[in-house]
Amino acid sequence: MERARPNWNVNAQVVCETFDLAGGRVILALLALLPFLGAPVAALMIRAGRNACAVSAGLVVTAALALLGSLTPRVLAGEVVRERFAWVPSLGLHASFFLDPLGLVLAGLVLGIGLLIVVYARFYLAKDDPMGRFYGFLLLFQGAMVGIALSNNVLLLLIFWELTSLSSFLLIGYWRHQAEARRGARMALTITGAGGLSLIGGLILLGNIAGSFELTDILQRKEAIQASPLYLPALLLILGGCFTKSAQFPFHFWLPQAMAAPTPVSAYLHSATMVKAGIFLMARLWPVLAGTDAWFYIVATTGLVTMLFGAVTALFKDDLKGLLAYSTISHLGMLTMLFGFGTPMAAVVGVFHLINHATFKAALFMNAGIVDHETGTRDLKRLGGLASIMPISATLGVLAAASMAGLPPLNGFLSKEMMLEEAAHTPWLGQAWLVPAIATLAATLSVAYALRYIVHTYFGPRRSDDLGAPHDPPFGLWAPSALLVVLVILIGLFPATVAGPLVRATSTAVIGAEPPEVALSLWHGFTPALGMSVVAVIGGSSLLAVHFRAGSLWQRLGLPEAAAGFEAVVVAAVKGSRKLTVALHNGSLQRYLAFFIGTAIVLGFAGFWGVTHEGGTRPTLPVRALTVVGWLVLLVCTGAVLVLHRSRYAPLLFMGVISMVIALGFVFLSAPDLALTQVSVDVVTILLMLLALNLLPKETPRESSVPRRVRDAVLAVLGGVGMGAAAWSVMTREHHPISDFYWKNALPKGGGTNVVNVILVDFRGFDTFGEITVLGIAALTIFALLETANRGQAGRRLSRWRPARDLSPERYPLVLVMATRLLLPLAVLTAVFVFLRGHNSPGGGFIAGLVISLAVLMQYLASGFKWADLRVRPDHHALIGWGVLVAALTGLGALVFDVPFLTSAFGHFEVPVLGELELSTAMVFDIGVSLAVVGAVMLALAQLAAASKRAKQWAAKNEEEEARASQVRLSSVTDPGGPESRTSRARFSRMTDPGGAE
């Protein structure tokens, strides 16, 4: 770890020398990772009990605090600690951490208040609440916030930023059985997640302008950043992320909805940590973004509006947490306004209030949780008179709320006075009175809602008799808030001693220069701020006196709720997207292909006509008569497939001819491996398609309309012309194909003379590995689809299956049975031969697997599913799994020798009797390929055969039932004395002779 004395420039942050840590101390990285490492431990410790769970979480936070505390004296002395690790060296990116006073403040709030929340939550959460899950989520969030505080690389900061959104989503939705908790979590994630996307764009733009993604580099380049034409777009995008995270108007509404979370979450996320992330980032980037008109009018105006709006709304909230939520919005607006002023003194005040607000607001949220915990309600209309029966809680709540109101001698009074002083000297559009007037009005409202919290909760008569017998909670529930209230008092009484050094050091880090001299004290003489403060106190007290009538007026106004508007927008967006989805995704493969192919055609022709080009200079080869014949056969067979597509089997025959012509073309072009693969794949595919087509409905689906067929024909012609033109352009131009590399290196580096096989198992082995994985997934998909073919709608369709024509009485022809059984060992021997020669001659694992699959497939066709299935021992699923596993282990074996994944090794060995043999690790990889191919083909065959067997059983059963019904009908006609006839005659006799035998 390196320490450097700061070099404060007027508008630049401290910069230390960059360095790499090699075996050095890694305190900052450990500090950021420690909560993440402790999260699963805390979650699992619930098995040892609630106390063990809380203690384990507390120990993690304490350890992190100890690490931070070990660096605090150095940081406050002016040292900046930095650590850097290689991240993506090829792009020049590093995982960089640094700790300066501003990062120290945020990390200290996160860890210090976090430790208090750990204690508070232990006594607050009910026995039914999953405490392990809570502490796990809490530590995940804590790690993300510490990461934001310590990140020096903006890309790393973005990762932690998004982690705060995800972890806060989990915490807000902790009580997931409650609809309002789920709704609040979704809303918070939506708003802050959208802001995160905006922040990503802004910080990337900022890094490109500055030429670096390191914050310590960016903070030195104020002139270049503010002179850039991208300054304003970057500023707007960055502020989008800051405003959404810190609940600025009009993005404020997610914060009150998040109050559905447990009170420990509200006290932690929404007063001291998460909502401060946006404020922190504005403070961090203050040296390079502040000082312009755009910064002042966007940031300061947004903060001013948010401060006033939050204060007005808080006054008329009856829910304790709702009141505190909107008061938090108001104070966040105040912080935003102060940093938006863009003056060094306002930045100092912002830093001071950042600390003060965290102390009294976290204490107030905990106090509201105590009231709710003891009385079972947070409704101010039902509370009152609790001071006499809950004296400890009342004392703590009164002191914290008084600090929020800005009453002396508490810390909130100091920062409020300093804020009013700055507002008094800040004009807006030339109007010197506007900002101080609005600030005074907001301060008046803050006094009113703070006094309402005090009076309507703890004083006056009790408004409800159904609250049971509330009393002060156990020590563990009020002690955390008491500690914060002690800080509120100490900072208020001794600000220069308790908070002075920290405020000055942090202000220096924010401003990038020595801050102005500030005398932190309770009395500054008779100043305009003092007069504004007196007006605020008197006005706030008066508003409390007329609150009932003002509340009635507020209710009659019926102002729209932003949250309701957001929900309406979400519902409308869902409905619109559903309609669009139904319109576009109607299940028509033709439509999807038309969109894809049409888009490719448009883009291709646009690129072709958008540039000038010349014809190729490479000479063409003479066309042989045999080539023309093959081309004509392809054309005729392709046309036959289109014309005869109504038939089930004729198109397959023509497709087989097409496949054979293509295979002959491969042979003609000296590609025997491709020819073997083409023939093998074609035979397997056609046989499996025959089985599948046999089970499909026999009637032809409705033909496409004439316009659709015209559209398809146009797309087909244009697509064919485009592909043909592209192929012609490539083949008629001189180029240096990659095949030259393969020709030269197949033998010396891959150990084989069959270039195609060496490419598949070595040079492009990863592609082959992916292909066999996809092949296995496809087989498993077929299994999943056909395994349920006898149930539901598919089962009903299959039960109506009828054979297309009369079946032969000789179900398993003897000649075919004997021939396939004789061919089986020969086919297996051929597969082994093809496999072993594949590295130097045409063949390989893929073709060998197909040959074995064909041999087994013929057994199914000749002897039937039942006979073959009893004798095919290997599990098809296991074959696929072992194939992929063997191929993967072969590739991983290469990593052991420090070579790329799936790099093959080979050598020549002397074997008795056999002589010299070449052995290669590619052979093991090819074994995996063969196993995967055999397993995939056999699994598909087995499922198709099983479905066919069930269909035939249902068909036979249906035929028997129809024959039985037909026999009954026939007997009733040919045997008048049969059962049905006798029953009818008896019924007729009873009707005509009531006095008969009965």
Segment 22-34, tens digit of pLDDT: 333 588 989 999 9
Residue 86, classed as helix, strand or coil, is strand
Phi-psi region of 898 (alpha: psi -120 to 50; beta: other; left: phi over 0): left
In this predicted structure, what is the pLDDT of residue 977?
Answer: 52
Residue 768 lies in a domain: yes
Judged against a pLDDT cut of 70, whether residue 20 lies above it is answered with: no
Closest CA to 536 of 458, 641, 437, 457: 437
Q: What's the pLDDT band for 5 if we cut at 50, 70, 90?
A: very low
Distance from the Cα of residue 401 to its chain's centroid = 40
Q: What's the pLDDT band for 905 if we cut at 50, 70, 90?
A: confident
In this predicted structure, what is the pLDDT of residue 21?
Answer: 39
In this predicted structure, what is the pLDDT of residue 756?
Answer: 87
Q: For the residues 419-447, what does the mean pLDDT come to?
A: 92
Where a domain ends, among 257, 288, 319? 288
Judged against a pLDDT cut of 60, whether residue 753 lies above it is answered with: yes
Q: What's the pLDDT band for 10 if we cut at 50, 70, 90?
A: very low
Q: What's the pLDDT band for 946 if we cut at 50, 70, 90?
A: confident
Where a domain ends, among 483, 518, 545? 545
Residue 115 lies in a domain: yes
Longest Cα pair distance anywhere in the chain, in angstroms? 126
Residue 88 lies in a domain: yes
Whether residue 497 sits in one domain with residue 406: yes
Judged against a pLDDT cut of 90, whether residue 160 lies above it is answered with: yes
Judged against a pLDDT cut of 70, whether residue 805 lies above it is answered with: no
Whether residue 523 sits in one domain with residue 377: yes
* 197-212 pLDDT, tens digit each: 999 999 999 999 998 8
Range from 144-153, 269-278, 763-772 that averages highest in pLDDT = 144-153
- Report the alpha-carbon distance of residue 286 to residue 111 in Å, rounded: 24
Lowest mean pLDDT among 295-309, 693-707, 742-756: 693-707
Q: What's the pLDDT band for 3 if we cut at 50, 70, 90?
A: very low
Counting residues of the chain whose pLDDT is more than 70, the rounded percentage is 90
Residue 650 lies in a domain: no
- The two structure tokens encoding residue 946: 């099983």
Residue 133 lies in a domain: yes
Whether residue 957 sits in one domain with residue 923: yes
Judged against a pLDDT cut of 80, whether residue 941 lies above it is answered with: yes
Cβ contact 355:105 at 8 Å: yes
Whether residue 325 sits in one domain with residue 249: no
In this predicted structure, what is the pLDDT of residue 18?
Answer: 36
- For residue 522, count CB atoms less than 10 angstroms from its CB and return exposed for 0-12, middle for 13-18, buried for 19 or more: middle
Q: What's the pLDDT band for 873 if we cut at 50, 70, 90?
A: confident
Closest CA to 798 of 898, 713, 697, 711: 697
- The two structure tokens encoding residue 512: 């990038």
The DSSP symbol for 994 reads T
Residue 599 exposure: Cα atoms within 13 Å on the Cβ side: 5
Q: What share of the chain is helix, strand, coil (3-state, %, to 5)?
A: 70, 5, 25
* 283-298 pLDDT, tens digit each: 999 999 999 999 999 9
Q: Quick one: which H or E segment has residue 740?
A: helix 739-750
Q: What's the pLDDT band for 994 if we cut at 50, 70, 90?
A: very low
- The two structure tokens encoding residue 81: 């600690």
Whether residue 180 sits in one domain with residue 118: yes
Where a domain ends, among 288, 306, 328? 288
- The two structure tokens encoding residue 498: 């308790």
Q: For the residues 678-700, what does the mean pLDDT come to?
A: 80
Closest CA to 902 of 714, 753, 736, 763: 763
Residue 634 lies in a domain: no
Whether residue 213 sits in one domain with residue 76: yes
Cβ contact 431:358 at 8 Å: no
Q: What's the pLDDT band for 352 if we cut at 50, 70, 90?
A: very high
Residue 170, classed as helix, strand or coil, is helix
In this predicted structure, what is the pLDDT of residue 874?
Answer: 77
Cβ contact 765:891 at 8 Å: yes
- Report the alpha-carbon distance of residue 109 to residue 111 in Å, rounded: 6
Closest CA to 729 of 824, 601, 620, 811: 620
Judged against a pLDDT cut of 80, whether residue 189 lies above it is answered with: yes
- Report the alpha-carbon distance of residue 506 to residue 418 in Å, rounded: 17
Whether residue 968 sits in one domain with residue 875: yes
84, β-bridge pairs = 96
- For residue 158, count CB atoms less than 10 angstroms from its CB and return exposed for 0-12, middle for 13-18, buried for 19 or more: buried
Specify the number of domains making up the chain. Answer: 3
364 or 910: whose pLDDT is higher? 364
Whether residue 53 sits in one domain with residue 25: yes
Judged against a pLDDT cut of 50, whether residue 178 lies above it is answered with: yes
Closest CA to 271 of 323, 193, 214, 312: 323
Whether residue 298 sits in one domain with residue 262: no
Strand boundaries in 893-971, DSSP class E = 906-911, 915-920
Closest CA to 378 of 339, 451, 421, 322: 322
- Report the alpha-carbon distance of residue 342 to residue 333 in Å, rounded: 15
- The sheet carrying 2-4 orders its strands as 2-4, 80-88, 93-99
Q: What's the pLDDT band for 111 if we cut at 50, 70, 90?
A: very high
User: Which string of b and e fits 714-752 if b means at least 16 CB within 10 Å?
Assistant: ebeebeeebeeeeeeeeeeeeeeeeeeebeeebeebbbb
Judged against a pLDDT cut of 50, whether residue 12 lies above it is answered with: no
In this predicted structure, what is the pLDDT of residue 582?
Answer: 82
Q: What's the pLDDT band for 810 if we cut at 50, 70, 90?
A: low
Judged against a pLDDT cut of 90, whether residue 791 lies above it is answered with: no
The DSSP symbol for 57 reads H
Residue 715 lies in a domain: no
Judged against a pLDDT cut of 50, whether residue 67 lies above it is answered with: yes
Whether residue 298 sits in one domain with residue 276: no
In this predicted structure, what is the pLDDT of residue 742?
Answer: 87
987 or 265: whose pLDDT is higher? 265
Q: For the residues 956-978, what does the mean pLDDT come to?
A: 69
Whether residue 818 sits in one domain with residue 788: yes
In this predicted structure, what is the pLDDT of residue 11?
Answer: 34
Residue 932 exposure: Cα atoms within 13 Å on the Cβ side: 26
Cβ contact 37:84 at 8 Å: no
The DSSP symbol for 88 reads E
97, β-bridge pairs = 83, 151
- Domain carrying residue 32: 1-288
Residue 165 lies in a domain: yes
Whether residue 70 sits in one domain with residue 55: yes
- Report the alpha-carbon distance of residue 726 to residue 90 in Å, rounded: 34
The residue assigned the tokens 């979480």 is 57
- For residue 113, count CB atoms less than 10 angstroms from its CB and return exposed for 0-12, middle for 13-18, buried for 19 or more: buried
Q: What is the DSSP string of 314-379?
A: HHT--BHHHHHHHHHHHHHHHHHHHHHH--HHHHHHHHHHHHHHHHHHHHHHHHHHHHHHHHS--B
- Report the alpha-carbon distance of residue 942 to residue 949 in Å, rounded: 10
Judged against a pLDDT cut of 90, whether residue 943 lies above it is answered with: no
Look over the chain and give the mean of its residue pLDDT values, rounded to a whole number: 85
Judged against a pLDDT cut of 60, whether residue 721 lies above it is answered with: yes
Q: What is the DSSP string of 865-888?
A: HHHHHHH--S-HHHHHHHHHHHHH
Q: For the residues 671-684, what does the mean pLDDT come to?
A: 89
Judged against a pLDDT cut of 80, whether residue 574 lies above it is answered with: yes
In this predicted structure, what is the pLDDT of residue 698?
Answer: 64
